[in-house]
Amino acid sequence: MATKEKTLPDAFYETLKDVYYAEKQSVKALKKSAKAAQHAELKQAFETHADESAIQVERLQQVFEIIGKPARAKTCEAMQGIVSEMEEDLEDFGDTPAADAVLAACAQAVEHYEIARYGTLKTWASQLGYNDAAKLLDETLQEEKKTDTLLSKIAVKINVEDSNGA
């Protein structure tokens, strides 16, 4: 039995399902990180981005509608790995002065993964003529980049405060 040859629309849909899963996991991880964070700015950044990520999930649902496919999540091994690493780091560093620095680093790993995926999806959406989807994906991509920049700024403050306290 011959299998159907995979196309760019297939790749787009599969990656979209992957990111849909990843974004839902990100919301949970951000809420957990906000509870664990001690640094006020970091805690606020996590809370704000958790709310933003919930909106990003809704945007992804709109993208599924645009392409006429069901909004289904596909287990994202990469996000599972990043979240697992975050949980391990929380266990190892939870009550130490380095805990917030480690949390910020884990959050940036999530952001970098999402930036890579949203950049790809935006490009593919444009190539496939899904212009409305490309706009939605770009909106999320810009939010992810902004969050990454904010986390970098907060991480520098945390790292300086931690190193001064040592």
**How many CA atoms does the CB half-sphere of 47 hold within 13 Å?**
11
Please name each of the domains of the chain with its CATH number: 8-165 (1.20.1260.10)
Report pLDDT for 4: 86
- The per-residue pLDDT for 165 is 52
- Helix ranges (DSSP H) in the chain: 8-36, 40-67, 77-93, 99-127, 131-165
Lowest mean pLDDT among 3-7, 39-43, 63-67: 3-7
pLDDT tens-place string over residues 76-93: 999 999 999 988 988 898
pLDDT in tens, 29-52: 999 899 999 999 999 999 999 999
What does the longest C-alpha to C-alpha distance in the chain come to?
Answer: 66
Predicted structure pTM score: 0.91
Condensed to tens digits (0 to 9), the pLDDT of residues 102-137 reads 999 999 999 999 999 999 999 999 999 999 999 999
